Amino acid sequence: MTLRGRLTSAFLVVVLGPVLLGSIFVALTVAAVSRERTDERLDHAATTVRAAVGAICGQLQAAADAVAVVPASARSSVADQLITRGLAADIRITGPEVVSLARRAPQPPAGVTGWQDCTAPLGTRITALAASAAAADVTVLAALPVDAALLNRLGVAGGVTVTLSGTAPPAPGGVTVTLPGTAPPAPGASTRRLGAGPGQPLPLTLSAPPARPTIRYAVLPLIVLLTAIVAVIAARWLARSTTRPLGDLAWAADRVANGDLDTRVPIPRPDELGRLAGTFNRMTRELQSYVQALTASRDQLRRHLAILGDTLSSTHDLDRILPVILRTAMTATGARAGLVLLVDPADGTLAARCGAGLTGEWDLPPADLAARRLAPGRGVLGAVVASGTPLRGTTGMSAEEPACESYLAVPISAPPSSDPFLSESEAGPGTLGVLALYDRLGGPTFDDADLRTLRTFAGQAGVAVHNVRVHEEAQRLSLTDPLTGLWNYRYLREVLRREVERAHRFGRMLTVLMLDLDHFKDVNDTYGHPVGDQVLGEFARRIRLGLREVDVAFRQGGEEFVVLLPETDAYGGVIVAERLGALVRDRPMQIDPRRPGLTDRIPVTVSIGIAVFPEHGATAQEVLDAADEALYAAKNAGRDTYRLAESVSSRVPEGNFDPTPAVSGPQPPRHGSGR
């Protein structure tokens, strides 16, 4: 049985049950009241009939007395007058002669006394009532016939049907005599028997007809029927109005369970079911928002992971890798802010590399944030780096660290070395920095799942930092000269091409110096190659001392070196050449001869060729070749000097080389400002 059927049955029992019980009670009450009213009616009729019969008997007695007291000669006329006036139907005078003045009184059958004395009822078959009066010589009898008219008058007076019983006094099983013109008692009528006695000589039966259904009795079943119909309709409506929202709610819950979070339940009215529907809709909306947020977070995390993978595989730039790792970690854990710090190998301080969502003093642009440093071992971040153990909590932050309500800090560690022959110290530093997150959104603190997630990202950051440093070191080794620490010839070609393109794009000048140590072969032959290496290293150091930060020095090979001077004209190049020549010439090289009889100071000089872009060449190779030609011109001029290359327009065509050396000494500036 469905819920609607059960509710309908319950409503019918609650509504229709009392109606039916009330109808039965009303019917029983009406029947009892009807019986009581019938009994009261019969009692009243009996009293009325007795009084009427008594009055008739008194009337007859008065008539008899009136005839008896008058003289004998007037008796007949008086009797006639009384009969005419209807006070008696028959008056008989008995005496010497019997005089009958009967006009309507029937004659009783032979052998049956049909006259019933009002004072002594003795007859068994009654045809008339009689009253007697005695005089000195006669007896006067006044009588009325007991017929249907008399009984009808008695019935009208009592409001009942009056019939004459066949016994006097009536006895059980007595015969009821129905006179002509009277109707027998109706079947089922209520009766009351009046026995014959003094003052009421007639044995009568009073009958009240059964209560006939009136319109009220017909309306009562109709009301019950209409009530039942209304109750059924109301029960079905109530059941439907109650179960339909529940059905809609069940349907919506099934749709939501199948993944359709756009389903909503209509709110029929502001009752309990309406509030339940509203709560369900609100729950569904919040669930949909939560699922959308989770989906967006998942998609965002996937995008960040994809970006992280692409970044890790396509670049070795920490300034690109670390922000991606930080944002991905914040997305995965729901952190408000984050910070990445790396250990500076030079002094051991924690240098900020990137941050997101920071507030207060740490809310800085990337360029300014890179200048923030924390002392080693201070606060939570310093403790994480010093111990290599993750920390999380709400307190313990130093005043120098970012302000927060909760934090989670994990060390960034280098991956273990796969070389089993390296010791722990040779494998490199174990802790490279720290990855910290602040203020988890949606929760008071970070949990164990967040710690595991952040460990994973810290591991990726450690691999990235280690790989970048290994890559930088490998690149440095591949692009630098291991003896002098200067950039090598391979890197020279790349930087010279890039600087020439930039100078051409911005309309600037670029000066190239080519340097060569004079008589360096004699140093190797006299002191040996180790001393020659010392001389080359010291010479490279002095070159760096004589250059700006934007200038770049290279070792081209052997004892030849190249210096690039961006945004410098010929005059500036001459000044630098003079300065470098003086740095080498004025102070002999301090060496360890390791050979007896040799001095520990070697005087060294340098020859320098100078070429300027675009005056001495339109391409990088042309400028380099022009500087090389100027260098040979300086060598041919006696060494320990410099020469400026010839301009492109003044060069002799190929095949007609003019061995005249290039102009020596300082030249006036051609472009830009000198130094």
Which segment, 33-42, 333-342, 371-380, is predicted with the most confidence on average? Answer: 333-342
d(CA 133, CA 199): 16
Question: Helix count (H) and strand count (E) of the chain?
Answer: 14, 22
What are the b/e assignments for 394-412, b being 16+ CB within 10 Å?
A: eeebeeebbebebbbbbbb
User: For residues 635 and 301, which has the higher predicted lDDT (pLDDT)?
Assistant: 635
Residue-level pLDDT at 325: 86
User: Is pLDDT above 80 for 675?
Assistant: no
Q: Would you state the pLDDT for residue 97?
A: 53
Residue 238 has pLDDT above 70, yes or no: yes
SS3 track for 348-371: CCEEEEEEECCCHHHCCCHHHHCC
Tens digits of residue pLDDT in 454-469: 898 888 888 888 888 7
Percent with pLDDT over 90 in the chain: 23
pLDDT digits (tens, 9 = 90+) for 556-566: 988 999 999 99
DSSP state for residue 15 in the 8-state scheme: H
Q: Kindly indicate the confidence band of residue 109, based on its pLDDT and cuts at 50, 70 and 90.
A: very low
Instruction: State yes or no: pLDDT of 231 exceeds 70.
Output: yes
Identify the residue with better confidence: 307 or 101: 307
All structural domains of the chain: 55-208 (no CATH), 215-291 (1.10.8.500), 321-475 (3.30.450.40), 480-650 (3.30.70.270)
Confidence band (pLDDT; 50, 70, 90) for 111?
Answer: very low
Q: At what angle do helices 215-257 and 3-69 cross, to 10 degrees?
A: 170
H or E, element range at 218: helix 215-257
The mean-pLDDT minimum among 170-174, 260-264, 561-565 falls in: 170-174
Q: Are strands 510-517 and 139-145 parallel, antiparallel or unpaired?
A: unpaired
Per-residue pLDDT band for 428 (boundaries 50, 70, 90) equals: very low
Look up tokens 């250059």; give the residue: 547
